[in-house]
Structure 1
Amino acid sequence: MTDLDRIDRAMLAALQQDGRMPVAKLAERVGLSETPCARRLKRLESEGFIDGYRAVLSRKALQLGVIAFAQVRFSVHDRALSDRFEREIRGISRILSCHNISGTADYLLQVVARDLDEYGEFLRDVLRTLPGVTAVESMLSLREIKRDSGLPMA
């Protein structure tokens, strides 16, 4: 893998803000002509610095008014059970992220729902029934201060 120079970092930062930016505009922003910029972009993609491109959707427009963080605990720490839990989590679109964490809980999930009733049903009918889960503690977001804005490129 290549070390990132100042221009590579500037390109990655610009693309995190606008993944649909045309190569011509990207080249102008980082001070390159189009051909070298396109070559660098292909290299950054092929070397795995760019995982993909996607649209950032509006939770408000999609009427997903609740963001919850759920700490999930297991009473038995068995590798096969954890693997089953992780496989099932990957298939649940309502779960935006899942982290295996240290501390008193085993996993931290970020979950979206239309409202509290829907989140309560999800908790009861889905989350608490997953393999290994013995306890779930929820924390509700009252207000989103900062949304995922990309990785730091400094």
Structure 2
Amino acid sequence: MADSQLDNFDRKILAILAEDGRIAVTDLARHVGLSKSPCQVRMKRLQAEGYIQGFRARLDPAKMGMRHVAFVEVRLTDTTEAALRAFGAAVLKIPEIEQCHMIAGAFDFLLKVRTSDIVTYRQVLGERVSALPYVGSTSTHVSMESIKDDGF
């Protein structure tokens, strides 16, 4: 189902779940103007079609001692499909990398790396990020403050 085929009920369900994934189905149904059973059917369909990819707890990184955020520009030495796949597969194995985006521009990938402090970040950069397949160079930008960090 393409996005243009989502109706207003589907869009309302998705918007509410994006804000509160733990909302009871009866409350969700009331908010969107449906009864419980049709709301449940829609939720299951939205999950099956991949609109809802899962539910998880949002943790406070600062309370968990993970205050340091750096964005790393990565330039690869090779951008063949095999090199891109190898790089991507290796990135998935590094828990400190929260996000990895392929970029069209002056560099190839932008990584969001979260660690406890700059010393730990330097270790992760030197021992793990720089050792990823086909990494030619990196450039780090340290986040001083997060103004908005929502995601979907």
TM-score, length-scaled by structure 1: 0.92
Paired residue for 1:107? 109
Distance change in 2, residues 1:77/1:34 (3 Å) = closer
Structure 1 residue 88 and structure 2 residue 94: aligned? Answer: no
Paired residue for 2:73? 71
Paired residue for 2:131? 129
Deviations 1:94-148 (A, max 9, x none): 1011111111111100110000000011111111111111110011111101112
Deviation at 1:149, TM superposition (A): 4.3
Report if aligned partners of 1:71, 1:138 keep a CA contact under 8 Å in 2.
Answer: yes
Q: Distance in 2 between matches of 1:39 and 1:76?
A: 47
Gap regions ≥5 residues in structure 2: none
Structure 1 residue 13 and structure 2 residue 15: aligned? Answer: yes
Using CA pairs below 8 Å that are at least 6 residues apart, which structure has the higher relative contact order?
Answer: 1
Report if aligned partners of 1:16, 1:149 keep a CA contact under 8 Å in 2.
Answer: no
Structure 1 residue 39 and structure 2 residue 41: aligned? Answer: yes
Q: Distance in 2 between matches of 1:36 and 1:131?
A: 48
Amino acid at match of 1:114: S
Distance change in 2, residues 1:149/1:103 (3 Å) = closer
Structure 1 stretches of at least 4 aligned residues deviating more than 6 Å after TM superposition = none
SS in 2 for 1:67: strand
Paired residue for 1:22? 24
Identical pairs, percent: 38
C-alpha RMSD over aligned residues? 1.2
Q: Distance in 1 between matches of 2:151 and 2:124?
A: 28
Q: Distance in 2 between matches of 1:86 and 1:70?
A: 15
Report if aligned partners of 1:8, 1:40 keep a CA contact under 8 Å in 2.
Answer: yes
Gap regions ≥5 residues in structure 1: none
TM-score, length-scaled by structure 2: 0.93
Deviation at 1:32, TM superposition (A): 1.2
How many residue pairs align between the two structures? 150
